[in-house]
A and B are shown apart, each in its own frame.
Chain A
Amino acid sequence: MSDKPELEDVNKDPEKFITALYDTLDKPQTSQTLDDKILKAARACVNDVAPVVKLKKRPAWLKPVSAAAMLMLVATVSLHQIFDPSAPLNSEHYVSESRLQNGDLMAGKALSAAPKMKQEKRKQAAVPMASMQDQTTVAYAPAKERVKAKSKPKPQKNAMKKTYRRDLSELAALSDQLRPTVKHSIAKSQATSAEVAVVELDQALIFSDEEEASSPIVNRVSASAAKSLSVKSQTVEILSIEAFKPLSLNNNRWIYQKQNDAFYFLQLLQKNVAEKKSYRLLKVDFELSGLTQNTLSYGTEVKVRPKY
C-alpha cells in the first residue's frame, strides 16, 4: 500500500492526488503484433522505390537482318543507276520498251495500248469539261465587260488625281518652308523647363543625324536650354554620405529649404567658416529628425542623419 495516494489529499490538493493516483494505474503496452506491423510499414515506406520500367528488347536476329536488307536495297539501286542511268523509273514503261526491243510487237502493242486508252479516257472526260467552261464564260461575259468598263480610267478622274498630286507637292514645299519657324516658337515656349530642354536637345541631336541640324534657330534654342539645365544642376550640389560625415562633425546648422520626391534641399551654415551653402540630400540616404514632415517649412532648422 506504499503506492497508495493519501486519500485526504483529494480535497486539499486534488491535482496532486489525481496525478498520484493516475501514476498508480496499470501501464499497458502495445502488443508485439502492432509493433511489427508499424515497423514493417515504416520500412516498406522507405524502401518503396518506383519500379524500373524495362524496355522490351528487340530480338537479336533483327539487327543483322535489317542491316543486310538495307545494304541490298542500297546496292541494287546504286547498281541500277550505274548501269542504266537514263532508264526511267516507271517500271511499266521500262518493261514495255524492253519487250519492243526484243521484237515482240504484239506484246508491245498490247502494252502500249494502255497509255492510249488512258489518253482516250482523258479526251472523253475533257469534252464535257470544255462545254461546261464555255457555258460559264458565256454566263459571266456581261459581268466581265462591266468590270472592264469600270477599270477604264475616266478623263475626269484623271484630272482630279493630277490636281490632288499637285496640291500635295505644294503643301510639302510649304511645310518645308514653315518648319524652322514653328520649331522656333515651340522651343521658345518650352525653354523655361529644363526637362523639356533635354528633350529638345535630343531632338536637335536627331536633326543633326538627319542633316538638319544646320538650322541656326534650332542650334540656338538647344544651346540655351542646355545652358539653363547645366546652371540648375550646378547650383545645388548633391551631398553624399561620405561628404556628409565631415560636415556633421562640427556644430554646423542645417536649414530646411524645400523638398521634392527624391531630394531634401538644405542650406548648411558652417560656423567655422561663416559660410552658407546649399545641398541636395537624397531622401533614400538621409532622414531629417527633430521635426515631423508636416512641420517642415522654409527656414526651419533640422537635424540630419544618414539612414545607414
Chain B
Amino acid sequence: MDLTKTDEIIKQYEIAPQSLIAILQDVQDEWQYLPREVLEHIATRLQIPISQVFRVATFYSAFTLQPRGRHLISVCTGTACHVRGSGRLLERLQKLLQIAPGETTPDKQFSLETVHCMGCCALAPAVRIDEKVFGEVAVGQLPDLLEKYE
C-alpha cells in the first residue's frame, strides 16, 4: 500500500500521542475507513504501540476498519428522531438495501449506519446521505431518495 498520503497527513501534526485522533480522522476522511497497514504505519511514526492505536480506532464510533460504499447513509437515532419514527425508517432502509447497520451493499454503492443525534432534532426524523442532511423524512420517500444516489 502506498503510504505517501498518510505521511503527508502525519506531517501536518506534531509527532506526539495527542495527534493520534486527528491523524486517524484525516485518514478516515481520505479512505472512508482505516486500513490496517495505515494503522501500523501511524503507530511506528508516532512511536506508540499498535495496541493503543487499535484501541483508539475501535473506541470511537467515527472510525471504521471496514471499507465503506460510495454513499454513506446515516439514520439518526437520537431521541427526537426516535419518537418521530426513525426506527421505521431504519427498518425500511434495511429492507430496501438488504443490509444491516454497519454493512455495505455487495455492489459497494451504499453503506448504512446509525448515528446518535446529529443535532437536527427540530426536523426529525433526519437521515444523512454523505454530506447532505434530509429533514422530516417519511418512509414512503426513501425509494426515491435512494434512486438519486444509484
Chains A and B come from one and the same complex: no
Q: Which residues of A contact B (CB under 8 A)?
A: none
Q: Which residues of B contact A (CB under 8 A)?
A: none
